[in-house]
């Protein structure tokens, strides 16, 4: 064995092109840095071709197109000293997936293709034949189910490979829009807004109740926190945990609302977790209210896992919401004393932050209706079922309007049809009671 490269940061990945070229990636969490090298093991040379904040999606060079070699292993598809990168293509002006050709020796790139289909989204799946310009893509829109196409990027002609019908006809006409707004410190936020299919967006006579679904994400700078990765042309694809169903019952829904938690420089994100959380929520409600669609006195918030933790904190530390739904969350951070989510400091390093961020420690302040849901066999070490059971007991004994639902034999996510139907029923009953009566 002979060493051919040593990382300076934490090793992340290696992908081979052939017997002597390899791409090695390393990273460092505290700075969110990722760095990739092209290495020639014949002479030991290494060249950096990607050095950036990995949360900076606008500068993402994409992933190398791969193929299986004679051993059944995936390697970078390289022909004539050329390799090909497929990128998601997120920009401040929208999403435009792309294909770049890269010269392995010089690292110079040439843009071969940029997707610009109108009123739809194209995702590049594979490069079938680079010399002929043949690729495999999917195309979709909010009401058109994703289907596969064989496309020639030289002639721009596409041939359908599949013809899947939309299995969710009942919500195909729901109005969908990605909205952009700012919170009080100037950070740009986004969310996908859904309105009932028959809602008159011009007259706006009826003010709708609003449901917000979100999940907090930590960042080290405001620029990356404000980048948009939502596409209004994504197919509206509901799942068991989605709030989108409720558009059929007269609700507005802000899905995947951006909830960045930022800690720049030596400041950690969780040092100001609560005020940033409340600021994100206030900005989201203000944005939809400004459009004239909602009754801001009838707003609910919900989340799963860390989103449930978020929900409990928002109901505890603000008066923005009429009710909340928290699924499979953790509420007492002393029960996760050696870090949680992206927090690396332990409880004994920063006991005041662990206590302040724990809804359980502030249960006496929580007076807003809350539906707690948990799988009774949750084996995720950060969200044991005990978290919900003890939080519920505390709230109930303190007189808070709270209900707990435990789903039999479910882990951190829910699988059984009976449990999912019951979950949807419980949520519907709760929302109708809290927001429509």
Q: Inform me whether the pLDDT recorded for 18 exceeds 80.
A: no
SS3 at position 123: strand
Token couple for 86: 């497929």
Q: Is 0.85 surpassed by the pTM of this model?
A: yes
pLDDT, mean of residues 166-179: 94
pLDDT of residue 150: 97
* Other beta carbons within 10 Å of 148: 17
Domain with CATH 3.40.50.1820 in the chain: 169-435
Are 65 and 85 in contact, with CB atoms under 8 Å apart?
yes
Are 7 and 24 in contact, with CB atoms under 8 Å apart?
yes
336-342, long-range: CB < 8 A, 24+ apart: 336/381, 336/382, 340/382, 341/218, 341/306, 341/382, 342/29, 342/218, 342/269
Supply the Cα-derived Rg of the chain in whole angstroms. Answer: 24
Of 20 and 202, the one with more pLDDT: 202
User: What is the sign of the dihedral through the CA atoms of 428, 430, 431 and 436?
Assistant: positive
Cα–Cα distances (Å) from 369 to 19, 325, 366, 400, 434, in that order, read: 62, 9, 9, 7, 8
pLDDT, mean of residues 410-414: 97
User: Could you tell me which residues are beta bridge partners of residue 100?
Assistant: 85, 111
Of 279 and 17, the one with more pLDDT: 279
Superfamily name with CATH number, domain 169-435: Alpha/Beta hydrolase fold, catalytic domain (3.40.50.1820)
Q: 185-213 pLDDT, tens per residue? A: 999 999 999 999 999 999 988 999 999 99
Closest by Cα among 90, 88, 115, 86 to 100: 86
Q: Which residues contact 10 (CB under 8 A, 6 or more apart)?
A: 26, 27, 28, 29
Q: 96-107 pLDDT, tens per residue? A: 999 999 998 899
Q: Which residues does the annotation mark as catalytic? A: 305, 378, 412
Confidence of residue 17 (pLDDT cuts 50, 70, 90): confident
Q: How far apart are CA 179 and CA 365, in angstroms?
A: 32
pLDDT of residue 364: 97
pLDDT of residue 42: 86
Q: How far apart are CA 173 and CA 171, in angstroms?
A: 6
* Other beta carbons within 10 Å of 325: 27
Q: Inform me whether the pLDDT recorded for 437 exceeds 80.
A: no
Residues 93, 98, 103, 105, Cα dihedral to 10°: 60
């Amino acid at each position: 064995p002979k060493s051919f490269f040593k990382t300076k940061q934490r090793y992340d990945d290696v992908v081979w092109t052939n017997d002597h070229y390899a791409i090695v990636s390393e990273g460092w969490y505290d700075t969110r840095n990722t760095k990739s090298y092209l290495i020639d093991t014949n002479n030991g040379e290494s060249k950096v071709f990607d050095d950036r904040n990995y949360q900076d999606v606008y500068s993402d060079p994409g992933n190398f197109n791969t193929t299986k070699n004679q051993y059944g292993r995936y390697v970078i598809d390289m022909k004539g000293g050329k390799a090909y990168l497929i990128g998601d293509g997120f920009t401040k002006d929208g999403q435009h997936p792309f294909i770049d050709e890269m010269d392995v020796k010089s690292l110079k790139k040439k843009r071969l293709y940029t997707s610009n289909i109108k009123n739809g989204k194209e995702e590049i799946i594979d490069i079938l034949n680079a010399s002929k310009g043949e690729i495999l893509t999917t195309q979709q829109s909010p009401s058109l189910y994703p289907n596969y196409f064989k496309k020639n990027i030289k002639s721009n002609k596409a041939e359908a490979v599949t013809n899947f019908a939309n299995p969710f006809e009942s919500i195909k006409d729901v109005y969908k829009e990605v909205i952009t707004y700012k919170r009080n410190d100037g950070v740009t936020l986004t969310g996908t807004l859904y309105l009932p299919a028959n809602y008159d967006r011009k007259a706006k006579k009826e003010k709708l109740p609003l449901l917000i679904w979100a999940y907090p994400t930590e960042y080290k700078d405001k620029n990356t926190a404000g980048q948009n990765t939502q596409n209004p042309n994504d197919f509206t694809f509901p799942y068991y945990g989605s709030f989108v169903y409720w558009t059929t019952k007269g609700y507005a829904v802000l899905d995947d609302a951006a909830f960045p938690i930022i800690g720049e420089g030596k400041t950690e994100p969780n040092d100001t977790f609560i005020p940033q959380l409340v600021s994100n929520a206030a900005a989201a409600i203000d944005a939809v209210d400004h459009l004239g669609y909602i009754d801001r006195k009838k707003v609910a918030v919900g989340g799963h896992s860390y989103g449930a933790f978020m929900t409990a904190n928002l109901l505890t530390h603000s008066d923005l919401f009429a009710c909340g739904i928290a699924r499979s969350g953790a509420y007492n951070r002393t029960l996760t004393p050696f870090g949680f989510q992206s927090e690396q400091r332990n409880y004994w390093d920063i006991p005041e932050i662990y206590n302040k961020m724990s809804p359980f420690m502030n249960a006496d302040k929580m007076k807003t209706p809350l539906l707690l849901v948990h799988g009774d066999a949750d084996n995720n070490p950060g969200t044991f079922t005990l978290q919900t059971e003890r939080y519920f007991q505390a709230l109930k004994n303190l007189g808070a309007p709270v209900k707990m639902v435990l789903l039999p034999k479910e882990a951190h996510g829910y699988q059984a049809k009976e449990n999912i139907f019951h979950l949807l029923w419980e949520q519907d009953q709760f929302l109708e009671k809290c927001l429509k009566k």
